[in-house]
Amino acid sequence: MVKNENESANRPDNTAFTQQRLPAWQPMLSAGIVIPGFVLIGLAFIGIGVALFITSRSIQVLELDYTGVEQDSPCFRCSDPDVRDCVCSIQFSINRLFEGPVFFYYGLSNYYQNYRRYGVSRDDIQLYGDLSSFKEPSDQCEPYRYDRNNQPIVPCGSIANSMFNDTFRLFQNVNGQQVVVPLDGKGIAWWTDYNIKFRNPSITPLRNAFNGTVMPLFWPRPVYELDPSDPANNGFINQDFLVWMRRAALPDFRKLYRRITEGNYADGLPAGNYTLEISYNYPVLSFDGRKKVVFSNVSWMGGKNEFLGIAYLVIGSLCVVMSAVMLIVYAKFKFPEED
């Protein structure tokens, strides 16, 4: 017996693994599974598509372009770069109740906020409130790192420098009187941005932290005075600043400006005439850009998005059509065989 074992010393092990006999599930696909499978997938997609489409349809959107390219536009006057401190107003009317909560966006187009060198041109340590970066901003911020007098710019970099600075006020025209629609600017930025990513230096008053620095070149006011109405909403944690610093994905984008959630307008904007007063500061015509204001309400899927629903519908129907083609192919192959 011992000898026998010696003789077969080189005998391979007889295990499921070495003999490639691991227990396995081999799905036996056949036309009977594949074609109904395709139909099912198609139907599921169509279902989702319909749901999305209907949801999207129920969302109300109002877009107002105020770039002022056209001569008859109320903001045409302001679009001249030489005009300073220009205010223009746009009249618009709402036919039926614009259901709340209404989100108030500003939108820019042909604006490459996703340009790489634009995107990296910021100093995250500085924005985290680190005072050492106040004196010597990161070299990523070039060319907005120091001003001509070699003073450090805070907040440095392209993104901060190009912050959107048009402001809006909304009025409802009730019986010839303009009633201010209260705009809620709280909590429009991401929680993580507001609470963790951006921090003011822990020096009071805040402005002392910025001694020896200059504000970004394009800015009219320093960062610690961005919101004169609310002292807590200043510095790096200013909501508008936070929204701007979160880069857009594509060159046509909108960013949340305010929400309309207060007072009489908590349920939405009632039908009527409205006036939008714009203090026009931000130049976009030089790069064929457009500026607009968007009012929209939201559903579970966020803002209005017809593309997604239609895409689901198209692909779902494609699957169904494909399954029909397969059925024909199958019939063509199968039936001559049985003759």
Map the footprint of other proteins across residues 97-126, applying CB under 8 A.
105, 107, 109, 111-119, 121, 124-125
Write down the least CB distance from residue 54 to other proteins, Å: 14
H or E stretch covering 256:
strand 253-260
We find the least distance from the C-beta atom of residue 219 to other proteins, in angstroms, to be: 12
Site string for other proteins, 179-198 (x = CB under 8 A): -----------xxxx--xx-
Calpha distance 121→140 (Å, rounded): 5
Cβ closer to other proteins: 48 or 179? 48
261: region left, alpha or beta (phi > 0 left; psi from -120 to 50 alpha)? alpha
Rounded least distance, CB 151 to other proteins, Å: 17
If the CB atoms of residues 90 and 188 are measured against other proteins, the closer one turns out to be: 188
- Residue 244 as a binder of other proteins (CB under 8 A): the answer is no
User: Site residues for other proteins, window 133-162 (CB under 8 A)?
Assistant: 138-140, 143-144, 158, 161-162
218 binds other proteins (CB under 8 A): yes
Identify which of residues 118 and 171 has a Cβ nearer to other proteins in the complex.
118
DSSP symbols for 76-104:
GGGGSTT--SEEEEEEEEESS-EESSEEE
Rounded-to-integer distance, Cα 318 and Cα 16, Å: 43
The answer to whether the beta carbons of residues 163 and 150 sit under 8 Å apart is no
Shortest reach from residue 272's CB to other proteins, in Å: 26
What's the min distance (Å) between Cβ of 71 and other proteins?
A: 22
**Dist CA 160 CA 216 (whole Å):** 7
Burial letters for 92-118: b for 16+ Cβ neighbours within 10 Å, e otherwise? eebeeebebebbbbbbbbebebeeeeb
35 binds other proteins (CB under 8 A): yes
Nearer to other proteins, 90 or 294 (CB): 294
**How many residues lie near other proteins (CB under 8 A)?**
92
Whole-number minimum distance, CB 60 to other proteins, in Å?
16
Q: Within 13 Å, how many C-alpha atoms sit on residue 225's CB side?
A: 10
